Structure 1
Amino acid sequence: MKDYYSDLHIHIGRTMTGKPVKITGAKSLTFTNIIEHARNEKGLNMIGIIDCHSPEVILEIAQLMETEDVTEHPEGGLQFGDLTIIPGSELEIYDENCNGPIHVLCYFPSLAIMREFSIWLSNHLKNITLSSQRIYASGRELQKKVKELGGLFIPAHVFTPFKSLFGKGVQQSLTEVFDKDMIDGIELGLSADTAMADQIKELHDYSFITNSDAHSLKKIAREYHVLQMAEPTFNELQKALKGIDGRRIKGNYGLDPKLGKYHQTVCSQCFAPFHPEKQECSHCGCTKFVKGVADRISELKTASNSPADRPPYVHQVPLEFIPGLGPKMLEKLLNYFGTEMAILHEVPLEKLSEIVPAKTAELIVKAREGKLNLTAGGGGKYGKITVE
């Protein structure tokens, strides 16, 4: 078995001809740019590219396969050199069982199956070309279709206040909307970690993964996970999510939840910390608030401990969050050490100090070890790193 760095939630901003896919995504987020950046600069081994259901994205992949820049692995997944691409689709469920919209991730082993799924989707969406669209089918109907096609089904960023399973989607349980046996894993989102999520007993049955939900190239791998598998393929990923034959999620690497945009409950007007029991903001008097992930999980709490075999969640700050580490300095590091994964996991302090100022090198190591001082985020604003 080997370890593979993986980020399974990367959006496509534009097609190869410049048409929008994820409207809020960067124009530079084309399929080709993503795979080159993820392999060459981030140092990832496996990525999930969401929005591959868009017909022009399917066409771009097909053209890359015609030139043999991209090939299909017999065990599932697309190969770009030593990078494996898992084609996926993010969709929005909002059926009669939901209290609010829920985003989900669907993954497939081949381009042919993704094309078949796209054709089916076109009869259930208003606009097949765009990302994260509302599907006019129930959650269970979507699950059934994904499984018919041999795909994987994972609820996305399950605690964020908007468009997520536990944010507003259900009252108490995922079974209100989904068949629990057709879920392959749980994506935690930027404002929660394993210890928080495991306070909900029904989630003990699933593997947790952390992903970037990248809307720009630089956001790729701001959160990621390590898969222990025989090789980076769709079939091996499926086994890792289920913990079969020694395959597993070895660890998750993500932001300390305090850095997430929705960790604490804040006033919807001035973003000051808000205590709902006081009924109004102590800072500005506003009565409206955005409930944070921590408070929502506290409402749902049914357990105190994680399962014994739960892999570690390592609080790690992406390089772009490091104070004083600008684009030029990051480029210098990449030119010398190769990839962000190498810088975050392998390069010792003394080597970093040869390329960047000692203070910056020390912050990178502290970020690697989860030892930075933080102030919590909320209401759509990231937390911050405080430097003493």
Structure 2
Amino acid sequence: MTEVAEKRTDLPWGEITDETIAHAAELLGTTLRRDRMGGWVTEVNVDAIKHFAQGLGDRNPLWRDPEYGKSTRWGTMLAPPTILYSVDGTTVAPRLAGVQWLYVGTDWVWYDVVRRGDVYDAPATFVKQEVKGGEFASRWLIQTGHIRYLRKPDGFMVGEAFGKCARTPRGAALKKDGKQKYKAREAYEYTSEELAAIERALIDEMPRGADTLYAEDVEVGEVLRPTVKGPLTSTDMIAWYAGWSGAAPYGGAHGDAVRYRTRHQDYHVSEKTGAKDSAGRGHLEKKTGEDVGMGGAYDIGPQRISWGVHMLTDWMGDEGFLHTLSASVKRPNLIGDTTTWHGTVTGKDVVDGYHLISIDMHADNQRGETNATATATVLLPSKVDGPVVTPVPRNLTSK
């Protein structure tokens, strides 16, 4: 079933009610239009790969140097696995006009590497809606979409993702409904020693590259080298937007944005001026971030998840293959914060000649608060069974 446009002018704006919940639920099972959330990248060309990697600060030569890839077993330049976020952002949050959507996680499965020159279709289906409740809002929702990344022309599914978004009250509605969960807070003041340690960690980042990591050489309990991102700046955010989506998720820029808001009731209303603008400003502007309940200007869920993947791909090297990732965003990461991803090997298995490495991951900020968690399955080459063969079977982790 494909989406049929239906405007309802009788529904309350910015409120979660029985009617607005039911109106959104009408779209369950529907393949949605993706004019905003999909299509920033349709062809994974050199520029798309480099821009995405630069937006992560990931210097892996597999996705920075077109010539390097030719010397690897892949024979071509590859892209970071989560570049698929730029093909479709995995945000499926239909209807509920004026209700904030916050990205809370993705369950990923990859069956093949993403290669230079790949061209994709990415149909997205609204598959689940859960009504929640809690201390800070009497009702809120989690909406889940299923996105399939189909490589042209053969239609092979290189990856699939279940993207999850929370739908929560904004601003005055949130404060009226309960206490504000994330209150505005002042920027963290780093010591010179803290800043020096962050800088050293960033300088010392080193992808494994051609130094092959074999499954037999990995031990349960092994700790991965952490990946540090921060202190987060508006420049970092702009670099991410350049590789991920531009302003498309918010209706575009200039006249495109105004025209979008005349067609859709998807906007934030300034408490001071009454002007309508994108709630996406909360990622760059402190006041809007406070209005939507995040405590200040904050990062983007797929961005933070991709930082965790940066840690994994640095660790696994050119011969490794990221097969699954289940990641959850737990709390806001504000501009000025520093996020450090950690990983530990928790299991090893062999299935049909594939060597599976299980990894538990978490991300902490400079205050010691956990702001994201994840589990991953990495496939590594074997000294006995040879390299990882792709495409990977669909049911590998369920055996």
TM-score bin (small chain): under 0.3
TM normalised by structure 2 equals: 0.26
TM-score by length of 1: 0.26
More strand by share: 2
| Structure with a larger share of its residues in helix | 1
